């Protein structure tokens, strides 16, 4: 097995075991603990030592890990990615009985997904429940590891226009079928059983649908991978593995994975929150620095925001910019935007290219076509809170925000190596 397939196999396993942001953060925390990182709690006083490795979570859906070098520190080397992906969220009182025969679930959209791939494929449910057990509050992860639900299309005989482009109504067209008549009232019982509690002990839930199809390899030489949630667990995994495997020199290395990028980042645990700035300040205080020390260090710091990028589409090459054309397995994509929706500028791009060259990994460039608006990402949102030199990068992929996305087998290895080079400076 090549170094590329080995890295991608581990990535696909991580994504399969991370059907929601809560699972992704729990699995990243597990990886960090195995690598000797100590957990800090935001509610406790931070004790941080030179040479130490730590992590902290917020809302169980965002995580920040950091490594303090033994030497004098010049600043922070930070990478950022996101833990959430577009999907369906289950509402309160989820069961809908239809025709006295079907039980459907009442769901709403989380983020901007492509709807149609979610239909006619096995789905299941995962997330977290908040329970009161023997007068104690507990949060439990739940993942119903079985083919449980399906969102059936209407037959072509009843919708002759379906292949002319269909707009799905989120309330009426996209409700997943859960069970047949006699199972009414059983859904929350099933969730309780999955969480190892009683249904009446569940006081709150954040539950999401996920596609049951696990990721795998494609092409005669396994040169591509497909998986749900490549945006942005591909980057979250690559950045965190890079952090774990690097030896810090003159910078405190930080990797932060934020929740809620897909809905605009404006939550207490999103990139538009104080999660990063609170933690940088507290690390500085714990190392006996003051506000002046922190401001000076931030002025000499750097942020790599990594969120997946659009590769040139094989059937729609005209959608890509004429001179900046990223391809799968072409390496790290450096993203540019004239109005700086991507934070990249000449200085930060130059540094990123140098880290890629030192790591001996390829890089490529992305602009939106000048007549397409494109999306936004974490970089410019988080630098509004912690203002430092930043570059927006990503790994090339196809079908972003579909429930199965496609990428190149080599690129997660490329990201890990580039991050190791950044973190070892």
Phi, psi of 4 (to 5 degrees): -70, -50
Query: What is the nearest approach in angstroms of Zn ion to the Cβ of residue 238?
Result: 13
Instruction: Output 115 or 232, the one with its CB closest to Zn ion.
Output: 232
Spatial distance between the Cα atoms of 297 and 397, rounded to a whole number of angstroms: 35
Strands 216-218 and 136-143, bridge-based pairing: unpaired
Stretch that binds Zn ion, among 204-212, 223-231, 293-301, 346-354 (CB under 5 A): 223-231
Q: Does 307 bind Zn ion (CB under 5 A)?
A: yes
Query: What are the two backbone dihedrals, phi and then psi, of residue 211, each rounded to the nearest 5 degrees?
Result: -70, 140
232 binds Zn ion (CB under 5 A): yes
Considering the rule CB under 5 A, would residue 284 count as an interface residue with Zn ion?
A: no
Under the criterion CB under 5 A, does residue 231 sit at the interface with Zn ion? yes
Q: 18: which DSSP letter?
A: -
Return the range that interacts with Zn ion (CB under 5 A); candidates 71-79, 98-106, 167-175, 227-235: 227-235
Q: Provide the minimum distance between the beta carbon of 375 and Zn ion in the complex, in angstroms, as a whole number.
A: 8
Our CB check for Zn ion shows the closer of 143 and 235 to be 235
Is residue 405 involved in binding Zn ion (CB under 5 A)?
Answer: no
Length reported for the chain: 425
CA-to-CA distance for 414 and 85, rounded, in angstroms?
22
- In the shown chain, the binding pattern of residues 325 to 364 toward Zn ion, with x for contact by CB under 5 A and - for none, equals ----------------------------------------
What angle separates helix 230-245 from helix 21-34, to the nearest 10 degrees?
A: 10
Q: What is the CA radius of gyration of the chain?
A: 22
Query: 3-class DSSP state for residue 118?
Result: helix
Smallest gap from residue 374 Cβ to Zn ion (A)? 12
Nearer to Zn ion, 271 or 312 (CB): 271
The position carrying tokens 């710091």 is 301
Closest distance to Zn ion from the beta carbon of 319 (Å): 18
- Tell me the closest approach of the beta carbon of residue 89 to Zn ion, in angstroms: 17
Nearest to 15 by CA among 213, 254, 200: 213
**In this structure, how many other beta carbons lie within 10 angstroms of the beta carbon of residue 274?**
12
Q: How far is the CB of 235 from Zn ion (least distance, A)?
A: 8
Q: Which is closer to Zn ion, CB of 261 or CB of 417? A: 261
Binding site for Zn ion (CB under 5 A): 231-232, 307
């Amino acid at each position: 097995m090549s170094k590329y397939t080995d890295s991608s196999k581990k990535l696909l396993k991580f994504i399969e075991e991370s059907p929601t942001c809560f699972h992704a953060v729990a699995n990243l925390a597990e990886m960090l603990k195995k690598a000797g990182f100590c957990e800090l709690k935001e509610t406790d006083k931070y004790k941080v030592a030179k040479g130490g490795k730590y992590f902290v979570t917020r809302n169980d859906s965002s995580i920040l890990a950091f490594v303090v070098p033994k030497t004098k520190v010049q600043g922070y080397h930070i990478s950022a990615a996101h833990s959430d992906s577009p999907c369906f969220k289950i509402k309160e009182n989820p069961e809908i009985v239809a025709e006295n025969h079907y039980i459907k679930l009442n769901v709403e959209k989380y983020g901007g997904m492509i709807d149609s791939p979610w239909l006619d494929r096995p789905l299941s449910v995962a997330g977290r429940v908040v329970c009161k057990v023997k007068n104690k509050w507990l949060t439990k992860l739940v993942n119903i590891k079985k083919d449980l639900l399906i969102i059936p299309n209407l037959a072509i005989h009843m919708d002759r226009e379906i292949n002319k482009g269909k707009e799905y109504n989120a309330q009426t067209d996209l409700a997943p079928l859960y069970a047949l008549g006699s199972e009414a009232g059983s859904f929350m019982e099933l969730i309780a059983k999955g969480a190892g509690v009683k249904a009446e002990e569940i006081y709150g839930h954040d539950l999401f649908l996920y596609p049951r199809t696990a990721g795998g390899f494609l092409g005669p030489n396994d040169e591509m991978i497909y998986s749900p949630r490549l945006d942005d667990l591909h980057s979250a995994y690559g950045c965190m593995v890079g952090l774990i495997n690097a030896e810090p020199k003159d910078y405190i290395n930080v990797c932060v994975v934020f929740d809620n990028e897909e809905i605009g980042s404006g939550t207490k645990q999103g990139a538009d929150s104080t999660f990063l700035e609170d933690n940088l300040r507290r690390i500085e205080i714990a190392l006996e620095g003051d506000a002046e020390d922190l401001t000076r260090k931030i002025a000499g710091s750097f942020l790599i925001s990594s969120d997946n990028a659009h590769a040139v589409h094989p059937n729609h090459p005209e959608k890509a910019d004429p001179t900046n054309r990223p391809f799968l397995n072409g390496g790290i994509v450096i993203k540019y935007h004239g109005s700086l929706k991507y934070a990249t500028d000449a200085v930060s791009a130059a540094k990123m290219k140098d880290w890629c060259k030192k790591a001996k990994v390829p890089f490529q460039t992305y602009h939106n076509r000048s007549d397409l608006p494109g999306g936004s990402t974490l970089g410019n949102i988080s630098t509004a809170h912690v203002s430092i030199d930043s570059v927006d990068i990503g790994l090339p992929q196809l079908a972003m925000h579909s429930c199965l996305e496609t990428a190149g087998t080599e690129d997660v290895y490329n990201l890990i190596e580039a991050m190791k080079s950044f973190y070892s400076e």
